[in-house]
Structures are given as C-alpha cells and as structure tokens.
Amino acid sequence: MSQRVLTTESGAPVADNQNSATAGAGGPILVQDQHLLEKLARFNRERIPERVVHARGSGAYGYFEVTDDVTGFTRADFLSEVGRRTETFIRFSTVADSLGGADAVRDPRGFALKFYTNEGNYDLVGNNTPVFFIKDPVKFPDFIHSQKRDPFTGRQEPDNVWDFWANSPEATHQITWLMGDRGIPASYRHMHGFGSHTYQWTNAKGEAFFVKYHFKTNQGVRSLSAEQAAEQVGKDANSHQTDLLQAIERGVNPSWTLHVQLMPAAEAADYRFNPFDVTKVWPHADYPLQRVGRLVLDRNPDNVFAEVEQAAFSPNNFVPGIGPSPDKMLQGRLFAYADAQRYRLGINHTQLPVNAPKAATVDNYGRDGLHATRYGSRQDKNYEPNSYAGPAQTGDALASPLAVHGWTGTHEAPLHAKDDDFFQAGELYRLMSADEKDRLVANIAGGLSQVTRDDVIEKNLAHFHAADADYGKRVEEAVRALRED
C-alpha cells in the first residue's frame, strides 16, 4: 500500500510536520510558516458551541421497519407498507449536564430520531419519559437555568432545583418519574423512548388522529440505583457511550418496538385530561398501544463530532401525513430546536451529511450563507414564482388544519374534567411496589433535605401530599430525619 501524502487545507504537500520553520536552527518561529499557522488556527476553532441542553450524547445509525398496517391512520409514505424499511439516525443524550459530564446520572435521556424518508427527513424528538416538567415553553429557559450550574457557585444547587419545582406544581408527575427506579438507565439500550408530545396523523381520507409514540426496548428495562450509578461514574464516566459503541461493534444490535396511542381528533375536546399537556399521559385503558414497527441500530458513526455533535434535529421536520398538535411545549420547540442549530452550526447545517436527506432531493430557493455547498446551476433562479420551471408548491398540506377560536392573548390551557397537577403523579406512585416506593422516597429526600429554606421544602412536601397521602407522609418523614442528623 502506497504511503498517503499529508497536505495543507489547500491540498499542498507538507514537507515537515515535526518541526516549525525558524530563523536559523535556534531562532524564533517565522510567520511565513503557513502550515504551522493554519494548523494552530484550525485547532483553536475545533470546538463549536455545545448544546445548552442535551449537550452530552451518543448516536448510531439503523433502520425502521414497518410490521403492522397503519395506513388507516396516516398517509406517511415511510409507514405505508408492511416490511418497508427506512434508514434512521438516533441521538441519545443526558439533558442538564455539559458535554464533559458523566453518563450514569439521574437525568432524563433525550431520544431524538431522524428518519431519512423519500419525502424528506422526519425528526421525532422525545425523551425516555412520557411526560415533562412544564407545560408552557415560556418557562423552559427558567427551568433549565434552575437545573444548570449556579452563576455564583458554579455548581448545581439543590436550592435552585427545588425552589423552581416548589413554584411549578405541574412538575410533580415528572419528578416522580425522575426520582423513581428508571431515573438512571443502566444504558441507552435498556430504556424506553417516547415522543412525549402529542402529534397529529392524517390518513388518505383527510381524517385526523392525535398520536403519542412509545418505543419499547427489546433488551428489557435495566436501571441503576444511586449507589450503583456513583460506582459506575467512577469506573467509566462514558459508560453509556462505551456500552452502545461496543454492543453494535460486536453485532449485538439494539432494537425497540414502536407502539402508538391514537385518539380520533374529535375526542380531544372532551377527554378527561388535556391531551396536549405534556405533563400528563393518556392511560392505556383509554387508548391502548398499537404496534407499528421496530427500530434497529446496526452501525456506529465513523466520526463522533461530524455525525453526533453536528447532528441537528427539529420537531418541525414533518412529512406528509404527520404534523403538530396544539401541545404548547411542542409548539415552542417547533421554533427553538431548529434555531438552536442555526446558532450552533450555521444556516446551512442541513447540508451536513448527517442532516441532509438521503432518500429525497432538496430543491428550493435557499442560497448562500456560511458553509453553503448547494448552489444550483447557472440557469436556476433564486426567487419564486418564476417562469423558468423552478420548483413550485404542491398545494397539498402535510397534515389536517387545527381549528382555533377566541381572543389573542396569554391564556392558561383550558381545563378538562380530570386536569390537575397531582392526580397522575399519585397514580404513578400507587403503581409502584413497596421497594420502588422506598427508593423513590429516599431519592427525593436526599435532594430536598439539602435545601436551606424551610418554605421551599414545605411547598414541595405539599405537592407530594396532594399526589398521595402516603407519598407525602413518607417523603416528609424522610426529609425530617435527614435534616435532624
């Protein structure tokens, strides 16, 4: 095999990559050493701004295969035929910590999936929990600030974490999930994934359904206790990344079975819970799971930076037959996710290989900008409408329109019959075994007992009491015992 030649960025061969050019054998370095200056300048710019949330992540390629007929509910082409396979890329992540954080921590996990369909890329951005802490996007920056490092102490502060939750009772349901046994997955392979939000499917007849996605791991759910997680972090801070990489390299390809819950659009208005409130679930007794297909991961990225760090997802990337719902948190993310990537990666981040469509052709009038690689031919016009056979609209909406009424302004979401901030948290607590309840109470008390303000502790205790009398009593007793030690 012939030796490859090292070159500069412009392609010129490098004569010496061991020694900088100097004025004489012991003299100062010369500014004319183009290779040295280019190499150092590039090194200084190797890092791009990390994600504010979901900074630490791992990814893999795979495919999604349809196993069940869902054409009665959606006209999405990649779901149109049993046996149909679509290439995918997934990015798992922790939420609160920075790029240098550890994997085995108590935190929700991102579950962001890109389908490279022949009608364009479809991005499904969710978590490993079916619910979230808040229901309105205007609170999202404040929530994240409360969970991130304090600007004065430079560390995550229990006072900040629990003070926000004390004043945000809708977080009680997600807190119960997070502090329970599934709060620290043993690996990315051993956790479920959820779309979390409510989306819309539309079939060929124009009938609309609201939908929730459930990816059930076929490896079985495995989680770590707080003690096991601390030990794991000490052994390998990259434990989830290591596990995913090595499993796929060994040919042990992880998989998930996709199920959906489907609600005819006409039933949403009178459902007992607000179906568009991401702090709540739809009980399976009301809307049973229906199987759709399976997701298989079978290839690791060749370059983590290029394909995982630069991967960009937006829940606004829909395909015909799939669209948004009035879920307020989803509505906020339709803008925020894509805008975050425009900031991090530039306006042309969709042209990067991991983000570019693989089974569809991009043809629009977007031009120029930093790192543009798509220009079109010299005959192409960059405006529309035109008389030169340029791309034109289809007039065919991706999803069904949503009816709106009322006055503009800031409104609380309309209440449904069973809407409150505590009922479903109590239901989740009552589903737990005695041992699960013990660990849940211990995890909550361990953090809440560190809060310095009694009023913040009392507000949080009131939430657990409201969810379930036994839940509140046990947390209160555990917090008191730890504070008296």
- Which active-site residues does the annotation give? 54, 127
Residue labelled with tokens 């050493």: 33
Angle subtended at Cα 71 by Cα 68 and Cα 72, rounded to the nearest 5 degrees: 110
Q: Which CA distances in Å does 213 have to 90, 105, 278, 334, 440?
A: 15, 25, 13, 17, 26
Return the bridge partners of 94, or none.
109
Angle subtended at Cα 135 by Cα 129 and Cα 140, rounded to the nearest 5 degrees: 90
C-beta separation of 401 from 439 below 8 A: no
Residues with Cβ within 8 Å of 86's Cβ and at least 6 positions away in sequence, in order, are 63, 64, 78, 115, 116, 117, 359
Element (H, E) at 35: helix 34-44
C-beta separation of 56 from 98 below 8 A: yes
State the pairing for strand pair 120-127/199-202.
Answer: unpaired
Crossing angle of helices 434-448/158-166, nearest 10°? 110
DSSP 8-state code for residue 136:
-
Return the bridge partners of 299, or none.
61
Residue labelled with tokens 């409130």: 277
Q: How far apart are CA 82 and CA 424, in angstroms?
A: 36
The tokens describing 229, both together, are 């997680």
C-beta separation of 374 from 351 below 8 A: yes
Residue labelled with tokens 């079975």: 257
- Cβ–Cβ contacts within 10 Å for residue 305, how many? 11
User: What is 160-225 written as a DSSP string?
Assistant: HHHHHHHT-GGGHHHHHHHTSGGGSBS-GGGS-EE--S-EEEE-TT--EEEEEEEEEETT---B--
The tokens describing 7, both together, are 């070159």
